[in-house]
Amino acid sequence: MQQTKLEWDESLLAKYNISGPRYTSYPTALEFSEDYDQQNYLTCLNQLTEDKSLSVYIHIPFCQNICYYCACNKIITKDRSKSDKYVDNLIKEIGLVSDHIGNNKLRQIHWGGGTPTYLSIEQITKIMDAIRGSFDVPDEDSTEISIEIDPRALEITDIKALAELGFNRMSMGVQDFDLKVQQAVNRVQSYEMTRDMIEEARNYGFKSINLDLIYGLPFQTKQTFEQTLKLVMDISPDRISVFNYAHLPHRFKPQRRINSEDLPSAVEKLSIFQYIIENLQKNGYLYIGMDHFAKPDDELAIAQKQGCLHRNFQGYTTHEEYELIGVGVSSIGSINGHYHQNVRDIEEYYQALDKEQLPSWRGVEVNNDDLLRKRVIFDLICHFELAMSKVEQEYSIDFKQYFSNELSMLEPFIQDGLVQIENDKIMVTNRGRLLIRNICMVFDAYLNELHVINSFSKVI
């Protein structure tokens, strides 16, 4: 596969470095409403036709220790017994959901959190047994079963047990290997621990392994991150996610423990990001989009080359055509284009299930304009180009007339060499790929200045 070389233009990155959505959904979660209730969700489940395959997301909220940068919905506790009640209720929710659908095939399972490996192998086994007992998993060999792991909360001998349970993909947070940085964010995790865990996963046949990195953390410099990236290259994961740390202490209480004076300057942060991009491309990783890189033979890279890459709440995926069911506190799913989210409070979660009710909180029922704009945004964010004629045929519109205002708003991007429009296609240039969020924002009907300033991270 021929690699696309990103063009780095610091002046343009500074010009466009505003806040904006990550577009793991459209509409984004800001548009979710409590008017979308349990009955709306049940209607979606009941209307699922059996030709639709399923993906299940399982949210485990518990963590033993708090990472100060984290913005996830989580429960910090060292009392492992608290997870017993959660596991029982999670299994109950799985059963209630399966009661409302037909014989749909389950093709993908993803465990996230929190820390899924906070649970014991016995608890994970109980949940996997419940999933297989409630859903039709027709082909175990081709089913994608992934889990986010924290090597500090897992014995290396447990990798074999996870493989025997069917897990075949793994994502692991690293963030940074520099000890001073790790101490500043309360996540001390050695290179050796990370390397050994990944080597064991490979020994037991895990097909794809992802490492998460974060730039913009306290005490990071380009020089310190050079060593981190060297160690990451020695591990050689199949995928690498590189996230921009968004310091939003007014929204996320744990971030108040991070001293803003210790954060790298905007110039230094940009320098770190530039080094990461250049180094990963030099080592053969392809830029998939947003924060994601992958080796050329990874499924994400192949899907992008073949034009079948998609995006959902877990990021880039090869399986957008699957209906996504979220189970667990705060989990989000998407069925027939509509979005649904469970309650965020664990006691409310338990109370609903005690009443034999699904723990619904909010969601959004999409309209035709939402579906159309989602198609445009997701095509651009996954493939960096859009064939207007295909959209016209699918939605019976005149693209240039329907999106006349948006095409006018693209003019500055065209003048800056970030976007090209040629005949039927809107194409993002190599210079524009790092700013794909900005380009997608042009087609977002919900954005306003208050949304952008108060609710989203910076794009770089």
Domain containing residue 396: 368-455
Structurally, the chain folds into a number of domains equal to 2
Query: pLDDT at position 139, please?
Result: 78
Here the CATH number for the domain that contains residue 403 is: 1.10.10.920
Q: Are residues 381 and 314 in the same domain?
A: no
Query: pLDDT at position 454, please?
Result: 53
pLDDT of residue 1 exceeding 50, the answer is: no
Write the pLDDT tens digit of every residue in 60-116.
999 999 999 998 878 999 888 899 999 999 999 999 999 999 889 999 999 999 999
Query: pLDDT at position 2, please?
Result: 42
Query: pLDDT at position 132, please?
Result: 95
Query: pLDDT at position 457, please?
Result: 65
Which of 300, 326, 352 is the C-terminal boundary of a domain?
A: 326
Q: Are residues 136 and 82 in the same domain?
A: yes
- Residue with more model confidence, 234 or 337: 234
What's the rounded mean pLDDT across residues 170-184?
97
455 — pLDDT class (breaks 50, 70, 90)? low
- Distance between CA 420 and CA 414 in Å, rounded? 6
Q: Are residues 317 and 375 in the same domain?
A: no
Say if 225 falls within a structural domain: yes
366 — pLDDT class (breaks 50, 70, 90)? very high
Q: Are residues 314 and 418 in the same domain?
A: no
Query: pLDDT at position 381, please?
Result: 95
Say if 349 falls within a structural domain: no
Percent of the chain exceeding pLDDT 90 equals: 80
Say if 1 falls within a structural domain: no
What is the pLDDT of the chain when averaged over all its residues? 92
Contact in structure between 361 and 342 (CB atoms under 8 Å): yes
- Distance between CA 30 and CA 27 in Å, rounded? 8
What's the rounded mean pLDDT across residues 267-293?
93
What's the first-to-final CA gap in the chain, in angstroms?
27
240 bridge partner residues? 211, 293
Query: pLDDT at position 350, please?
Result: 98
- Distance between CA 94 and CA 326 in Å, rounded? 9
Q: Are residues 322 and 372 in the same domain?
A: no
- Residue with more model confidence, 376 or 319: 376
- Determine how β-strand 54-60 pairs with β-strand 106-113: parallel
Say if 22 falls within a structural domain: no
Here the CATH number for the domain that contains residue 322 is: 3.80.30.20
Say if 172 falls within a structural domain: yes
Instruction: Find all residues with CB under 8 Å of 147, minimum gap 6, and list them.
Output: 110, 111, 116, 117, 162, 167, 169, 170, 171
- Residue with more model confidence, 127 or 270: 127
Say if 17 falls within a structural domain: no
Write the pLDDT tens digit of every residue in 320-346.
678 999 999 999 999 988 999 999 999
Which tokens belong to 311?
A: 């995006």
What's the rounded mean pLDDT across residues 208-221?
96
Q: Are residues 292 and 426 in the same domain?
A: no
Nearest residue to 168 via CA among 124, 209, 135 = 209
Give 277: exposed, middle or buried? Use CB within 10 Å, 0-12, 13-18, 19+: middle
Query: pLDDT at position 291, please?
Result: 87
What's the rounded mean pLDDT across residues 282-299?
93
Q: Are residues 127 and 270 in the same domain?
A: yes
Which of 307, 326, 345 is the C-terminal boundary of a domain?
A: 326
Instruction: Find all residues with CB under 8 Å of 123, minimum gap 6, and list them.
Output: 83, 84, 87
Write the pLDDT tens digit of every residue in 141-151.
788 999 999 99
- Determine how β-strand 385-387 pairs with β-strand 425-428: antiparallel
pLDDT of residue 450 exceeding 60, the answer is: no
426 — pLDDT class (breaks 50, 70, 90)? very high
